[in-house]
Structure 1
Amino acid sequence: MESSWLEARWARPFYLAFVFCLALVLLQAIKLYLRRQRLLRDLRCFPAPPTHWLYGHQKFLQEDEMEKLEELVEKYPCAFPRWVGPFQAFFYIYDPEYAKTFLSRTDPKSQFPNRFLSPCIGQGLLNLEGPKWFQHRHLLTPGFHLNILKPYAEVMVHSVNTMLDKWEKMLSTQHATVEVFEHINLMTLDILLKCAFTQETNCQINGTNDPYVKAVFELGKIIFYRMYSFLHHHDRIFNFSPEGHRFQKLNQVLHQYTEKIVQDRKKSLQDEKKQDNTQKRKYQDFLDIVLSAQAENEDSFSDTDLLSEVNTFILSGHDTTAGGISWLLYCLALNPEHQQRCREEIRDILGDGSSIIWDHLGEMSYTTMCIKEALRLIPPIPSISRELSKPITFPDGHSLPAGMNVVLSIWGLHHNPAIWENPKVFDPLRFSPENSDQRHPHAFLPFSAGPRDCIGQQIAMIQLKVTVALILLHFEVTPDPTRPPILSPQIVLKSKNGIHLCLKKIP
């Protein structure tokens, strides 16, 4: 009698392997099922928009995401769960009391998208956690004291004037249309390189011809590509891809540049000390502050820590500030009456604008209100996220367990009609002293709040004021009706097609 194939010696290993793989698949399916049931149980008290069993809310929010988000904020008070597929959910909040409870804690940041940035910036304030983060924050805070920042205003004026000279040369007639974000991004990078290293790169003139500048911009594009290419979330797949190879080469350029500047500065300081040379530069740059912190804490602040903080300062600083300035100009272009009122205020303070001193910045009250209203209407950082390290209970009694990914939607908070009347309208008077005093302190959070608020918010505000003041003295800006910006919610809120403005030289 012929034996069955299962009894054949050659077939048994394949049969066992099949059974093993089937058991693994079933085990994984059970784990995913239990995960979904747990999420459904944890989120049952929070209503959500209709969800597809496979895609979750991805298709619903894919197009015009910010407008759809505004609809959900109006429909669902305080918060709603957003499903990404059947087994993953993010809990979105946009209520001031919820935000206050959330930001008062020290939960770790969500891995997505910070882990894509870590190879570039290392472990700095942006992605450190726990005692190490507190130590770095304590050591670096003196570098953002107003007395340190005051001399930076002169540096910023020089960089902004370089950009304005470029714009004047572009005006073949009395006016021209310019994609301003590209120019402003180079300008803010120029400022931060000077403030970080006292380094002249001429990046505004040479564009991305400089290897370091080219690396900074290309790395940003690759990180954005990787964020939205789910296959490349896996490190091994990404590393073997063409984009991964390019990323590694650019990252090497970035780190070699920073390391060389740090080593050259250390050698220069040693030579000055040997020669008893007490001559100082015009201002202390960020590298001076970090080196001073390292000298006082050699055992706990290594060269790796130092390089991480310098890279974090530059890479996380220039893009966000460039976004804030560009969207501010766009808001003023759409609202010429507020633009003109800012211009008149700036003329009264600066005259022809040939010099800006620190005291001038504090006098720009209406311009500051316009800056804040632009940051409310189009916040450069649209959201921040944390993974709960322990359960959280909100003021209304609703709770979430540890492990939940919570997203504070700054966009949703700033467009919440329960807080802001007519939230789509550009109204700087929302930030008059009498109106601001009556508002919840966690209703306006362009720089976050709590223990992990943005350490660089003062330097960002200085750049915003200096830049808008000098631009409005020299140019009138109007929108290009043929190319309105299309919002793209990346790490920094950008426009898919750029920000095109018509510039007209003011005689």
Structure 2
Amino acid sequence: MEKLDEIVKKYPCAFPCWIGPFQAFFYIYDPDYAKIFLSRTDPKAQYVHQLMTPCIGRGLLNLDGPRWFQHRCLLTPAFHHDILKTCVDMMAHSVNTMLDKWEKSWSAQETTMEVFEHINLMALDIIMKCAFGQETNCQINRTYEPYMKATFELGEIISSYLYNFWHHHDIIFKFSPKGHCFQELGKVIHQCTEKIIQDRKKLLKDGIKQDDTQKSQDFLDIVLSAQAEDERAFSDTDLRSEVNTFMWAGHDASAVSISWLLYCLALNPEHQDRCRTEIRSILGDGSSITWDQLDEMSYTTMCIKETLRLIPPIPSISRELSKPLTLPDGHSLPGGMTVVLSIWGLHHNPAVWKDPKVFDPLRFTKENSDQRHPCAFLPFSSGPRNCIGQQFAMLELKVAIALILLHFQVAPDLTRPPAFSSHTVLRPKHGIYLHLKKLH
């Protein structure tokens, strides 16, 4: 990321990145370039997504064309406001489970803790409850540890594959140590999601509702209903692919976002205190938390957005041009080229953002936001393929940070600063260590 920042400062719009002697990825990070790029319907770049297909199948993440549009239309109702509102209590319950663990570990003085592992389990617990209606108790019994380990190692392999010229040859990759490991890890992910599907199907077969108090359908209800209506249009393979996709994407990026948000607030205590004051004025002691209350957290929301700018969980997205692309300044790229929109580069571009390395939530006041280019801030992408779960993610971020800050004051452990891992999602390489101080 440091090297990318240097290049962005030197070349404010774009640069080619060569992988071996024949393959170039063209990186862009200018808002006008991004606007044209995202308005098109070019397919996802094959280098990453053809590798992910054996692991998660072909769901919204890596489908293209009419099949993608069909799945997108089908799954959009799963993120309707009425359904998201029912998730608030479930999210709060998962966060409180994590905070109970922290309180038990907390000493009378101050505790230093690696928080990313805890937050990762909490995010998995949330997606299991909200999307699949499953009470796994995974934060306590660690039954999903093999799944967590598999997704972590797969992320590393995918990133390594992308920038290794020799691994772009399928036969070489398949017979390499990483290629063999990749296949085994894919089996772990499939076994886990298959169990989720079969458990729900068994309940439905027995005539038992997943939750008699649940007023609206969850994600799994919607995909199962679609399959029941027309199995030819939405097959078992489609079902497994979407469950795989939402389980992986739904917890990984959320866990990373919450962790980096907590770290940024630890580094900036004045903003942490201001968020806590706002949260206390709205939630009191946090014994209850509602959808409408979360909507009132204006300063906390600005801090969330500034974290997503400073450390976007998905640092880039890529497309393979189906036809030539002409950029606003008259430069053009040929069809067939892989173009990478570097969200990190865009968010750190000094030609777009003043002092881009500085944590400044006031960039996101209404006045400043109105004056900014609409494609300057893209943590959830934009255009027809924007993130379908962005409202769910923002809801989860607000619930998590509100309850954490009500119970704990956080400060960085300067002896163990976090580093970025080589992943498609910007994970902390060795975790995030924070000093926790319990608030009475």
Shift of 1:223: 4.3
Q: Which residue of the partner structure matches residue 49 of structure 1?
A: none
Q: Which residue of the partner structure matches residue 17 of structure 1?
A: none
- 1:129-148 matched pairs, under 5 angstroms: 129-148=64-83
Farther off after superposition, 404-413 or 292-301: 292-301
Residue 452 (str. 1) matches residue 391 (str. 2): no
Does 1 or 2 have the higher relative contact order (CA < 8 Å, sep 6+)?
A: 2
Q: Which residue of the partner structure matches residue 221 of structure 2?
A: 288
Report how many aligned residue pairs link the two structures: 440
Give the Cα–Cα distance (whole angstroms) in 2 for the partners of residues 218 and 85 of structure 1: 24
Amino acid at match of 2:373: H
Q: Which residue of the partner structure matches residue 420 of structure 1?
A: 353
Q: Which residue of the partner structure matches residue 321 of structure 1?
A: 254
Structure number with larger C-alpha Rg: 1
Closer/same/farther in 2, CA of residues 391 and 242 from structure 1, 3 Å limit: closer
Residue 490 (str. 1) matches residue 423 (str. 2): yes
TM-score by length of 2: 0.94
Q: Which residue of the partner structure matches residue 163 of structure 1?
A: 98
Closer/same/farther in 2, CA of residues 283 and 367 from structure 1, 3 Å limit: same
Q: Which residue of the partner structure matches residue 364 of structure 1?
A: 297
Look up the SS of the partner of 1:177 in the other structure: strand
Closer/same/farther in 2, CA of residues 278 and 476 from structure 1, 3 Å limit: closer
**Cα deviation digits, residues 160-205 of structure 1 (max 9, x gap):** 1111111112223421111211111111011111122211222211
Give the Cα–Cα distance (whole angstroms) in 2 for the partners of residues 244 and 74 of structure 1: 36
**Cα deviation digits, residues 270-313 of structure 1 (max 9, x gap):** 4429xx99955355321001112223343311111011001100
Give the Cα–Cα distance (whole angstroms) in 2 for the partners of residues 475 and 430 of structure 1: 26
Q: Which residue of the partner structure matches residue 436 of structure 2?
A: 503
Are the counterparts in 1 of residues 12 and 349 from structure 2 also a CA contact under 8 Å?
Answer: no
Are the counterparts in 2 of residues 272 and 278 from structure 1 also a CA contact under 8 Å?
Answer: no
Query: 397, 413, 430: which is aligned to 2:363?
Result: 430
Closer/same/farther in 2, CA of residues 271 and 488 from structure 1, 3 Å limit: closer
Q: Which residue of the partner structure matches residue 61 of structure 1?
A: none
**Cα deviation digits, residues 393-436 of structure 1 (max 9, x gap):** 11111111101111111111111112211111111111011111
Shift of 1:458: 0.7
Task: Calculate the aligned-residue CA RMSD, in Å.
Answer: 2.3
Q: Which residue of the partner structure matches residue 196 of structure 1?
A: 131
Are the counterparts in 1 of residues 14 and 27 from structure 2 also a CA contact under 8 Å?
Answer: yes
Shift of 1:264: 3.5
Are the counterparts in 1 of residues 120 and 255 from structure 2 also a CA contact under 8 Å?
Answer: yes
Residue 301 (str. 1) matches residue 234 (str. 2): yes
Look up the SS of the partner of 2:406 in the other structure: helix
**Cα deviation digits, residues 442-468 of structure 1 (max 9, x gap):** 010000000110001011001100000
Are the counterparts in 1 of residues 133 and 210 from structure 2 also a CA contact under 8 Å?
Answer: no
Farther off after superposition, 356-365 or 492-501: 492-501
Closer/same/farther in 2, CA of residues 123 and 68 from structure 1, 3 Å limit: same
Look up the SS of the partner of 1:493 in the other structure: coil
Farther off after superposition, 239-248 or 105-114: 239-248
Give the Cα–Cα distance (whole angstroms) in 2 for the partners of residues 133 and 350 of structure 1: 40
Farther off after superposition, 187-196 or 231-240: 231-240
Structure 1 unmatched ranges of 5 or more: 1-65
Closer/same/farther in 2, CA of residues 177 and 227 from structure 1, 3 Å limit: farther
Query: 1, 12, 15: which is aligned to 1:80?
Result: 15
Amino acid at match of 1:434: E
Q: Which residue of the partner structure matches residue 284 of structure 2?
A: 351
Look up the SS of the partner of 2:261 in the other structure: helix
Give runs of ≥4 in structure 1 deviating > 6 Å.
none
Give the Cα–Cα distance (whole angstroms) in 1 for the partners of residues 207 and 410 of structure 2: 48
Residue 403 (str. 1) matches residue 403 (str. 2): no
Are the counterparts in 1 of residues 155 and 425 from structure 2 also a CA contact under 8 Å?
Answer: no
Give the Cα–Cα distance (whole angstroms) in 2 for the partners of residues 353 and 111 of structure 1: 46
- 1:457-472 matched pairs, under 5 angstroms: 457-472=390-405
Shift of 1:126: 0.4
Closer/same/farther in 2, CA of residues 84 and 296 from structure 1, 3 Å limit: same
Residue 205 (str. 1) matches residue 140 (str. 2): yes
**Cα deviation digits, residues 324-376 of structure 1 (max 9, x gap):** 11111111111100000000000000000111111111000000000000000
Q: Which residue of the partner structure matches residue 266 of structure 1?
A: 201
Amino acid at match of 1:158: H
Closer/same/farther in 2, CA of residues 297 and 439 from structure 1, 3 Å limit: farther
Q: Which residue of the partner structure matches residue 172 of structure 1?
A: 107
Residue 111 (str. 1) matches residue 46 (str. 2): yes
Q: Which residue of the partner structure matches residue 375 of structure 1?
A: 308
Residue 68 (str. 1) matches residue 7 (str. 2): no
Query: 380, 391, 412: which is aligned to 2:324?
Result: 391
Give the Cα–Cα distance (whole angstroms) in 2 for the partners of residues 68 and 220 of structure 1: 21
Closer/same/farther in 2, CA of residues 215 and 416 from structure 1, 3 Å limit: closer
Amino acid at match of 2:428: S
Structure 2 unmatched ranges of 5 or more: none
Query: 407, 410, 414: which is aligned to 1:477?
Result: 410
Query: 69, 88, 96: which is aligned to 1:153?
Result: 88
Q: Which residue of the partner structure matches residue 256 of structure 1?
A: 191
Closer/same/farther in 2, CA of residues 357 and 280 from structure 1, 3 Å limit: closer
Are the counterparts in 2 of residues 485 and 496 from structure 1 also a CA contact under 8 Å?
Answer: yes
**Cα deviation digits, residues 99-150 of structure 1 (max 9, x gap):** 0000000111112222232112100000011111111111111111111111
Give the Cα–Cα distance (whole angstroms) in 1 for the partners of residues 168 and 341 of structure 2: 23
Shift of 1:496: 2.3
**Cα deviation digits, residues 69-110 of structure 1 (max 9, x gap):** 222222223212222333222211111110000000011111
- The share of aligned pairs that are identical, in percent, is 73
Are the counterparts in 1 of residues 158 and 423 from structure 2 also a CA contact under 8 Å?
Answer: no
Shift of 1:239: 4.2
Are the counterparts in 2 of residues 385 and 406 from structure 1 also a CA contact under 8 Å?
Answer: yes
Give the Cα–Cα distance (whole angstroms) in 2 for the partners of residues 488 and 84 of structure 1: 20
TM-score by length of 1: 0.82
Q: Which residue of the partner structure matches residue 442 of structure 1?
A: 375
